[in-house]
C-alpha cells in the first residue's frame, strides 16, 4: 500500500486548524505573524528612543484585542447565526472605536515623545496604514473560523453517517441470519417426521452453522474460503434432505488469492438460499444449484444458477423476498454504486450475477 505525502500534509493541515491539541501553537503562530506584519509598518518610527516600541506594542495590543473579539464574540454570536448585517455593523463600529482609542492613546501617552520634524499628516497616514493592515487579518481570521466550523461539521456528519450505517448494517444482518435459521429449522422439522436419522445429521451440521455465526460472522470481514465452506455445508444439508438434488461450487481464481481475500460475512447466503428454494422440482425430477466464483482485476464475480420448475412458487410469499431485499440494501450500504447485481428469471433457470470490488 502506497502512502501519499500529499495526503498526510492535507490531513495535518486540517487537523492543525481544528484540533484542540494544536490550539496553543495556532495562536502563537498567528501572534508572531501579526507582530511581524505590524513591525513592517511605519507609524511606530515617528517616536523617539524606546517609546517607539511602546507605541508598536500599544497598537499591536489594541488590534489583537479587536481580532480576538471578532473571532470569539462577533463571529459565533452573529455571523454563525446568519445575522450578517448586525455582524457587519458591529465590525465597523469596533473598527472605528479601536481607531479612536488608538488616537486618544497617542495624544495622552506619547505626544511628547513624537519626533518633532514629522508632520502630523505623515503620522496619521502611518496609523491608518497599521489599521488598514488589520482589516485583511480580521477577514482572514473570520474565514479561518468558518473553515474550522465547516471541517468540524463535516466530521460530525461523517461520524453520524458512519454510526447510522453501522447500525443499519447490524440491523439488516440480524434480519438476514434469523431468516436463514428459520428456514433450516423448518427443514429439520420436516426430516424428523420422515427420516429421523437424516434429521440428526442435519442437527450436527446446524451446530457448525451456529459456530460460524458466533465466531466468524460477528466480524466485519471474513475469509472468502470460510464463506465458500459455509455455502458448501448449507448445500450439503439440502442434499441430505432432498433426493435428486445436486450442486457444484466452482472457483476459477488462484487459490492463493481466494485464501487471502476478505469479504463481508453472509454476502452470498441469501442468493444461495433463494436458489435452493426455487430449485424444487414439482415432479420429483433432478434439480441443481451451480455456483461460480472468480476474481479478476480486483473485482469478485459471483454467479449462482438454479434449476426451476415452471409451475413452482414459494409458499411463503410474504417473506420470500425479505432476504433478497435486505441483501440488496446491504450491498448498497457496503459498496455504494461500485457493485453490480443482475438477476435473470427464465422458464427453466434462475440466475444471479454479482460483481463487487475486493
Number of C-beta neighbours around residue 278 at 10 A: 20
Task: Give the mean pLDDT of 178-192.
Answer: 74
Write down the pLDDT at residue 4. 47
Q: pLDDT tens for residues 86-105?
A: 888 888 888 888 878 887 88
Write down the pLDDT at residue 2. 47
Residue 342 has pLDDT above 90, yes or no: yes
What does the alpha-carbon distance between residue 305 and residue 289 come to, in Å, rounded to a whole number?
A: 6
Task: Give the mean pLDDT of 268-279.
Answer: 87
Q: pLDDT tens for residues 45-85?
A: 677 778 788 888 888 888 889 888 988 888 888 888 888 89
Residue 244 has pLDDT above 70, yes or no: yes
Residue 260 has pLDDT above 80, yes or no: yes
pLDDT band per the 50, 70, 90 thresholds, residue 3: very low
Write down the pLDDT at residue 109. 84
Q: Number of helices (H) and strands (E) in the chain: give both, helices first.
A: 10, 7
Task: Give the mean pLDDT of 133-155.
Answer: 77
Residue pair 345/314 in contact by the 8 Å Cβ criterion: no
Residue 250 has pLDDT above 90, yes or no: yes
Residue 127 has pLDDT above 70, yes or no: no
Distance from first CA to last CA of the chain, Å, rounded?
A: 14
Task: Give the mean pLDDT of 337-346.
Answer: 90
Write down the pLDDT at residue 125. 52
pLDDT band per the 50, 70, 90 thresholds, residue 114: confident
pLDDT band per the 50, 70, 90 thresholds, residue 8: very low
Could you tell me which residues are beta bridge partners of residue 222?
Answer: 263
What does the alpha-carbon distance between residue 213 and residue 321 come to, in Å, rounded to a whole number?
A: 22
What does the alpha-carbon distance between residue 111 and residue 195 come to, in Å, rounded to a whole number?
A: 111
Could you tell me which residues are beta bridge partners of residue 292?
Answer: 250, 303
Residue pair 151/12 in contact by the 8 Å Cβ criterion: no
pLDDT band per the 50, 70, 90 thresholds, residue 1: very low
Residue 233 has pLDDT above 70, yes or no: yes
Instruction: Give Rg (Cα) of the chain.
Output: 36
> In degrees rounded to 5, what are phi and psi of residue 37?
-65, -45
More confident call, 17 vs 33: 33
310 CB burial (10 A radius; 0-12, 13-18, 19+): exposed
- Burial call 175-194: b when 16+ CB within 10 Å, e when fewer: bbbebbeeebeebbeebeee
10-19, 147-156, 174-183, 278-287: the lowest-pLDDT one: 174-183
What does the alpha-carbon distance between residue 351 and residue 343 come to, in Å, rounded to a whole number?
A: 6
Residue 216 has pLDDT above 70, yes or no: no
The CB-side HSE value for 55 (13 A sphere, CA atoms) comes to 29
- Burial call 21-51: b when 16+ CB within 10 Å, e when fewer: eeeeebeeebeeebeebbeebebbebbeeeb
Task: Give the mean pLDDT of 259-282.
Answer: 86
179: CB partners within 8 A, 6+ apart? 319, 322, 323, 326
Residue 203 has pLDDT above 60, yes or no: yes
Write down the pLDDT at residue 107. 78
26-35, 211-220, 232-241: the lowest-pLDDT one: 211-220
Write down the pLDDT at residue 33. 84
16-30, 108-122, 250-264: the lowest-pLDDT one: 108-122
3-state secondary structure of 174: helix
19-28, 66-75, 341-350: the lowest-pLDDT one: 19-28
Q: pLDDT tens for residues 288-304?
A: 999 999 999 899 999 99
Amino acid at each position: 500500500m502506497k502512502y501519499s505525502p500529499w495526503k498526510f500534509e492535507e490531513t495535518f493541515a486540517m487537523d492543525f486548524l481544528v484540533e484542540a491539541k494544536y490550539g496553543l501553537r495556532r495562536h502563537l503562530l498567528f501572534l508572531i505573524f501579526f507582530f511581524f506584519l505590524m513591525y513592517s509598518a511605519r507609524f511606530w518610527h515617528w517616536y523617539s528612543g524606546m517609546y517607539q516600541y511602546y507605541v508598536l506594542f500599544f497598537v499591536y495590543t489594541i488590534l489583537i484585542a479587536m481580532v480576538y473579539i471578532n473571532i470569539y464574540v462577533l463571529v459565533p454570536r452573529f455571523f454563525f447565526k446568519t445575522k450578517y448585517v448586525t455582524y457587519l455593523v458591529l465590525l465597523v463600529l469596533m473598527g472605528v472605536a479601536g481607531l479612536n482609542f488608538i488616537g486618544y492613546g497617542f495624544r495622552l501617552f506619547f505626544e511628547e515623545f513624537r519626533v518633532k520634524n514629522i508632520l502630523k499628516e505623515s503620522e496619521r497616514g502611518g496609523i491608518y496604514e497599521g489599521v488598514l493592515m488589520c482589516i485583511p487579518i480580521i477577514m482572514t481570521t473570520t474565514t479561518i473560523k468558518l473553515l474550522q466550523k465547516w471541517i468540524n461539521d463535516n466530521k460530525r456528519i461523517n461520524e453520524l453517517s458512519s454510526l447510522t450505517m453501522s447500525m443499519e448494517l447490524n440491523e439488516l444482518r440480524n434480519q438476514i441470519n434469523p431468516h436463514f435459521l428459520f428456514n433450516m429449522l423448518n427443514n429439520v422439522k420436516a426430516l424428523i417426521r420422515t427420516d429421523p436419522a437424516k434429521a440428526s445429521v442435519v442437527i450436527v451440521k446446524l451446530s457448525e452453522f451456529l459456530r460460524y455465526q458466533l465466531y466468524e460472522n460477528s466480524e466485519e470481514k471474513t475469509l472468502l474460503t470460510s464463506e465458500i465452506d459455509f455455502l458448501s455445508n448449507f448445500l450439503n444439508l439440502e442434499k441430505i434432505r432432498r433426493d435428486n438434488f445436486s450442486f457444484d461450487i466452482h472457483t476459477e481464481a488462484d487459490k492463493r488469492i481466494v485464501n487471502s481475500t476478505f469479504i463481508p460475512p453472509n454476502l452470498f447466503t441469501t442468493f444461495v438460499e433463494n436458489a435452493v428454494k426455487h430449485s424444487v422440482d414439482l415432479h420429483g425430477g433432478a434439480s441443481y444449484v451451480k455456483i461460480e466464483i472468480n476474481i479478476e482485476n480486483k473485482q469478485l464475480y459471483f454467479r449462482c444458477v438454479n434449476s426451476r420448475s415452471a409451475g413452482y412458487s414459494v409458499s411463503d410469499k410474504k417473506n420470500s423476498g425479505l432476504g433478497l431485499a435486505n441483501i440488496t440494501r446491504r450491498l448498497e450500504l457496503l459498496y455504494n454504486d461500485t457493485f453490480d447485481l443482475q438477476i435473470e428469471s427464465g422458464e427453466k433457470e434462475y440466475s444471479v450475477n454479482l460483481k463487487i470490488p475486493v
